[in-house]
Amino acid sequence: MEIKILGPGCPKCKQTSQIVAEALSETGVEATVEKVTGVMDIAGYGVFGTPAVVIDGDVKCVGKIPKKEDVKSWLTK
Amino acid sequence: MAENCCASQGNIMILACSGGSNVGQLSNQAAIELTREGVGKIFCLAGIGGNLSGFVQSAKDIDQMVTIDGCKVGCAKAILEQAGVPLKDYVVITDLGIEKDKNFSLKAEEIARVKSAVLDACGTGAPAAAAGQAPKTIGCCG
C-alpha cells in the first residue's frame, strides 16, 4: 500500500501524518508513507486544499485532519 | 489548487457550468471575477465530471460551495449528482431574467447581476476585496 500526505508542512499536515502513522501501527497494515510538500506536486492531485491523504492513488480526504477511525477503515478496505 | 496550507477552510468553492452559450460563459466569467475579488475560488467542474478522486473528494469535503448553472438543463448540478456530491448553494442564470442565446459578447450588467446572485446565494456580503478586507483565500491554520 502506498500512502501520500499532501501539504506544505503546517501543524495540521503534521497532525495528519501522526494520525496516519498511528492508524498504520494499530492496524498492522504495511505501507510506504510519502509526504508531498511541493505546491506543483500537490496541484497534480487536483485537491482544493491541504492537508490531503491519498491511498494507492485515490484521494481520501481534503482540507481537514482525518479521523483515525476513518483512516483505519481506508487501510483495511 | 490552494497554494496556502489548509486554505480550503473558510473558503467558498465556486463551480461554473461554463457551457456553450452566453449564460454558460456568464457563469464562468462571474466565477473568475469572484475569485479575483477574494469571495471564493473557482474550481474545476470538469475534474469532478471526469471522476478524478482529488476533485470529487475536494467537492465532498468543502464546507461552502456555490454552483452556477447557465440554464435549467442543469449540467453542473447533474455532474455533482453523478459524482455523489451534495448540491449546496445554487444559482441558475436564466432564473435571473437573462435569456439564453449564442451571443458571447458578455454584458457587464449581466455579469454583475450573476455575481450579485451568487453572493446572495452563498450569504456573502460585498466582495472582500471591494470592501477592503483580506480575501478569504489567505487563511491558514496556526
Instruction: Please give the C-alpha separations between residue B8 and each of B5, B38, B60, B83, B132, in angstroms, as whole numbers.
Output: 8, 13, 12, 20, 21
Question: What's the maximum distance between 2 C-alpha atoms anywhere in chain A?
Answer: 33
Chain B residues with beta carbon closer than 8 angstroms to that of A4? none
Using alpha carbons only, how large is chain A's radius of gyration in Å? 11
A59 touches chain B (CB under 8 A): yes
Distance CA B43, CA B50 (A): 13
Place of cell 453572493: B119
Q: What pLDDT was estimated at residue B134? A: 39
B90 touches chain A (CB under 8 A): no
Low-confidence ranges of chain B (pLDDT < 70): 1-10, 125-142
B7 touches chain A (CB under 8 A): yes
Three state DSSP letters for A7-49? CCCCHHHHHHHHHHHHHHHHHCCCCEEEEECCHHHHHCCCCCC
pTM of this prediction?
0.87
Give catalytic status of residue A61 as yes or no: no
- Is the pLDDT reported for residue A22 higher than 80? yes
Instruction: Provide the grid cell at A28.
Output: 498492522
> Which residue among the candidates A3, A6, A13, A47 is catalytic per the annotation?
A13
Distance CA B132, CA A54 (A): 38
ipTM of the complex: 0.92
Q: What pLDDT was estimated at residue B124? A: 73
Chain B residues with beta carbon closer than 8 angstroms to that of A7? 5-6
Q: What pLDDT was estimated at residue B4? A: 47
Q: What pLDDT was estimated at residue B6? A: 54
